[in-house]
Structure 1
Amino acid sequence: MTFSELELIEPIQKALKQEGYTKPTLIQAQAIPLLLAQNDLLGCAQTGTGKTAAFAIPILQLLHLQGPQQKGSRRIKALIVTPTRELAIQIGESFASYGKNLHLTHTVIFGGVGQKAQTDMLQKGVDILIATPGRLLDLMNQRFVSLRDVNFFVLDEADRMLDMGFIHDVNKIIAVLPKKRQSLFFSATMPPAITKLANTILDNPVRVEVTPVSSTADTINQFLYYVDKGNKNDLLLHILDDKAIKTALVFTRTKHGADKVVKVLAAQGIKAAAIHGNKSQNARQNALENFKNQTIKVLVATDIAARGIDIDELAHVINFEIPNIAETYVHRIGRTGRAGANGTALSFCDAEEKEFLKDIHKLINKAIPVIEDHPFPFKGIIPPKKENDRRGPKSFKQGGSNKPSGNSSRNNSSGNRTEGNSGNSSGRPKKQYYKEKANR
């Protein structure tokens, strides 16, 4: 199937050709006709499957067919709510690309920056608003935004919205939307809480699910390194020494851990930046732009911050730490192997993370191939607890030797110890503790 077979209007067809689009992805081929027929839609798709175009293209066409609004009195007809600034900006860029030949206006609003430029655009009048929940509610309360004329509502990345604690904000937004509207709900995973939320938004929706939520793309080559925690920094440096790796996205579980990895890389002359919730919005955006244009070689990210990273040419993802939630592994490695390109995902697993790895193997229904030939052979070491650590002793059983390897003392002093690996005093099992910690 080609885009020309989807009954799209000529201005959109022309824009898609200019962007180099010829064949729709699976979710685009399924969703666009359903949305043009004005159905509510529940979309379940992995990241990188093209879902932004799947909802942006039909919304642009339907708005265009409604006829132009009078200049100076434009009212918001379409609202797209997404969890992060990075995603909001990318969605705005997509609307600009696909709608370049239409007389429709859009703007993007998000927190972490001054609001004047955003409110100036809103006061001029826009057809399409892309927003993060917090800034949207703020500007609604200040009466800069009215949603009473919204005909199209999109909730994007709903599972991440829930993870980030935006559920109450989302419910407040939904409460003021017109009852009569077309609603679209997209999520990479569909746990019960997400299904319940979808039921409050959608009216007799058509469900589109292009891949099982537990699957990983065939274009991604996955490999696993068993390595002691104290040797992870050296293993990362060893891997990055490969000249074939132009850029790499490295994942840590914590913000603190991301910053420490950046310091280790910088000390060895490797240009790197961290992207996480403690960074300012401008710092995050600058880091992402520098990574895209390869000014820096390594971007170190936490899971929430990385959800907005969309780079077709990204060839390498490295899990410096195994995620404590199995589904997160699928999302992480989904940053590579996009748009039909091949990608490589490397994961470092220490003794404390084996339990998480079992959950991942169970979810993806296969074992990740292990690379055993590397300079830092695995000894199964669990680092001993520091005496001055106020968080108390580990509540899980230690295994293997407590003696650090030859490189571990140096690595620990260079900042390899992360908050996510530091035990707990709650008495709860390790996996439960990490899951609770991740959701705080």
Structure 2
Amino acid sequence: MSGPVGGAIGGKALSAATGRPNLICVDMGGTSFDASLVIDGLPSTSNEAMLEGLPIQMSVVDIHVIGAGGGSIAWKEAGALRVGLQSAGSKPGPVCYGLGGTEPVVSDANLVLGRIDGANFSGGEMALDRDAAADALAKLGADFGMNAEEMAQGVIDIVNAKMADAIRTITIQRGIDPREFSLVAFGGAGPAQAAALAEELEISEVIIPVHPGAFSAWGMLQTDVRHDFKETLYSFWDQIEAKSIEDAFDGLAEKGLAFLAEEGIDKDRVGIERAIDFRYYGQEYVLTIQLDDGPIDMDKIRADFDAAYERQYGHNSPENRVEMANIRLAALGRLDRPENAPPERAEPRPARERDVWFGGSHVSTAIIDRNSIGDGDAVSGPAIIEEVTSTTLLPPGWTAQLIDGGHMSLVKEDAA
């Protein structure tokens, strides 16, 4: 991923400095929950990665992963309920799949609570066994004095708490306030948990992109060709000339152009992104600062570092000397990207509803096809919004509305 992102999705939370979106992106599938940030329209990246337990010096999108997904198993340990890290996988999968699974999972809990339609799962291609899921949850709940629905709600509460803590790890623990972000939820299971996560973290807006279950794959197929280069260039910032930095970047750019030319990328489709690793004098760890296009502006770059340091750690030291350690350059081969096509409108099916468990009791809840929601239409919770790749849970007190590109914005009514 490269360049400003989030423009196609938007969001109410915008950077005061750039006007670009601040987004917390979460992908919940069958086995894992992945969380990452977009700050000022740019993905949060790391210069290190771990591969099979070994450190790798390479640029990667900074993604925090925990074992929490639709297939995460609920189990008892030391008198307490646990959810994950174990997963039922796709085979045998959840109890409700009827493929031999015997331990209840998050998807079983959502089915028992009425949040998944067992007769219309995966676009109607698969029927789910609610009775089997309820029996498995009731058996687990007997150890806690709970019936099937109460146990199912407990499973959902625990997995939501785990996911909220994962988001706190990449925000609050880094001095970032999640309330200043919009939450973008995708993956097959993400939209069902998104509103609860937003309430836990006091986030005022949730965005459900088009085709949420396939959103990661859609983004991957549109990623530019990218080559990253790094060169050590150590100096105090107040002792180096801008021309020396420009010359060093020019050398890396030549390498990048050569790599892209070998891959058949035309020169007019090449983009260059530059960055410098900085630290205050006497510190060990660096902070990577992206540079604007055009000539090097020494004063602005220093100010950008101080501002980024305060964002990251909650304080800074503008009076201290700054060291530059490395320069970094990304050579990008821009690929053609199809226009985002919102799902085709479909005629709404006859009004239908079912009981869904909210706040400890069953609540009559409207069932709505996402493709039948028109531009400007507002859907008030409680509601279940269904589509082929995912199901969105809209709790009481929340409103959903389509925004540009066919994406869906969920807002709590008292925060609108």
Normalised TM-score (structure 1): 0.21
Q: Between Structure 1 and Structure 2, which shows a larger proportion of helix residues? A: 1
The two structures have a TM-score, normalised by structure 2, of 0.22
The structure where strand makes up a greater share of residues is: 2
